[in-house]
Amino acid sequence: LNLENELRIALDKGQFHVVYQPIVGAESGTLAGIEALLRWNHPRRGLLYPADFMEVAQQSGLIVRMDEYTLAAACRQMKGWKDGLGWNVPVSVNLCLHPEWRGRLADKVSELLAASGLHADQLVVEFTENRVFQNLDETLHILKSLRLLGVRILLDDFGTGFSSFTHLKKLPIDGLKIDRTFVKDIPHGLKDSAITASTVTLAKQLHMRVVAEGVETEEQLQYLKQIGCGEIQGYIVSKPETAGVIASRFR
Ligand code: G
Ligand code: G
Ligand code: NA
Ligand code: MN
């Protein structure tokens, strides 16, 4: 069985689940958001991460069904947190802006939000500048339709893709996530520190949120506070966990 067929079966048999990683204020440490991350419980190979299957998922187009699954699960969970704990924390979902979503994504999103009785501004879509991100006009169209609903948009892995500045200029973006590869070597790596600090300044001047990803050490956190980075995410706060663990940790 090849991976594509295994993915198809996994979708039909419900072998996926979603884990959640908090995003907190760099200074306050309080919950600023929660990112939903997809996991595959493979019957033979055990727990698989997106890196293990995203390539095939994108090439085959199955990513659209997988993203729909994550989106629905995240909306259900948001409703659960709201009803159970009174939380109104924005939840981020990573979406692949696949051409197959054209004219369909905003309808799907508003349907899921309505079914959960949620406001659109509680949902955040994270997207990356990857291979599928070929056509700027198409991407603009999809993002505009989400923005029109009131959904917030974050540009993930900022700085690692192609023509990031053109995207910043042309697309409706509410915030940037500084990629983990830059955060890893701050404050000692001079290039990484310069890139991180400049990105924070850039986000501020564009009136955008800025989230540093992959923060693991106190030293990294101190530097991020010093340069005025608004929000952080990473093992220093929490690994991705089940919804129940996140609830017990932050309530
Ligand atoms: O924590 P983890 O290894 O799962 O995340 C790796 C990356 O995989 C994320 O940054 C994100 O870009 C991607 N990812 C995680 N979950 C999803 C999902 O449900 N859909 C899409 N398209 N990408 C995801
Ligand atoms: O593609 P995206 O950047 O959204 O995915 C984040 C990935 O990084 C996920 O795989 C997540 O599990 C992982 N991750 C999150 N926080 C940390 C961290 O502090 N350190 C490391 N090494 N990985 C992290
Ligand atoms: Na992400
Ligand atoms: Mn990222």
Instruction: Decide whether any atom of ligand 2 lies within 6 Å of the 129 Cβ.
Output: no
Count structural domains, the chain.
Answer: 1
Instruction: Decide whether any atom of ligand 2 lies within 6 Å of the 214 Cβ.
Output: yes
In a domain, 96, yes or no: yes
Range of the domain at 111: 3-245
> 128: which 2 tokens?
């990356």
Ligand 2 centroid–CA 215 distance in Å is: 9
In a domain, 38, yes or no: yes
In a domain, 138, yes or no: yes
- Rounded to a whole number of angstroms, the distance between the first and last alpha carbons of the chain is 44
Element (H, E) at 36: strand 31-42
Instruction: Decide whether any atom of ligand 1 lies within 6 Å of the 64 Cβ.
Output: no
Residue nearest to atom 19 of ligand 1 (CA): 38
In a domain, 251, yes or no: no
In a domain, 158, yes or no: yes
> 52: which 2 tokens?
């293990």
Flag whether the pTM goes above 0.90.
yes
Q: Are β-strands 31-42 and 46-48 bridged in parallel, bridged antiparallel, or unpaired?
A: antiparallel
Whose atoms come closest to the Cα of 23: which ligand? Answer: 2
In a domain, 223, yes or no: yes
Residue 56 sits in a domain of what CATH number? 3.20.20.450
Neighbours of ion ligand 3 (CB under 5 A): 94, 126, 156
Ligand 4 centroid–CA 127 distance in Å is: 9
Q: What average pLDDT does this structure show over 144-169?
A: 92
Instruction: Decide whether any atom of ligand 1 lies within 6 Å of the 63 Cβ.
Output: yes
In a domain, 136, yes or no: yes
In a domain, 231, yes or no: yes
Ligand 3 centroid–CA 95 distance in Å is: 9
94-117 per-position pLDDT tens digit: 999 988 898 899 999 999 999 999
Q: What interface predicted TM-score (ipTM) does this complex get?
A: 0.95
Is residue 103 classed exposed, middle or buried when 0-12, 13-18 and 19+ CB atoms within 10 A define those classes?
Answer: exposed
* CA torsion angle 209 214 217 220 (round to 10): -40
Instruction: Decide whether any atom of ligand 1 lies within 6 Å of the 95 Cβ.
Output: yes
For residues 198 and 206, what is the distance between their CA atoms, to the nearest angstrom? Answer: 12
Q: What is the DSSP letter of 129?
A: -
178-203 per-position pLDDT tens digit: 999 999 999 999 999 999 999 999 99
Contacts of 135-141 spanning 24+ positions with Cβ under 8 A: 135/99, 136/166, 136/167, 136/170, 136/171, 138/97, 138/99, 138/102, 139/97, 139/171, 140/170, 140/171, 140/172, 141/102
14-35 per-position pLDDT tens digit: 999 999 999 999 999 999 999 9
For residues 119 and 3, what is the distance between their CA atoms, to the nearest angstrom? Answer: 37
Cα 250 to Cα 58, 103, 245, distances in angstroms: 34, 37, 9
Atom of ligand 2 nearest to the CA of 236: 19
* Model confidence at 131: pLDDT above 60: no
Atom of ligand 1 nearest to the CA of 96: 22
* Model confidence at 133: pLDDT above 70: no
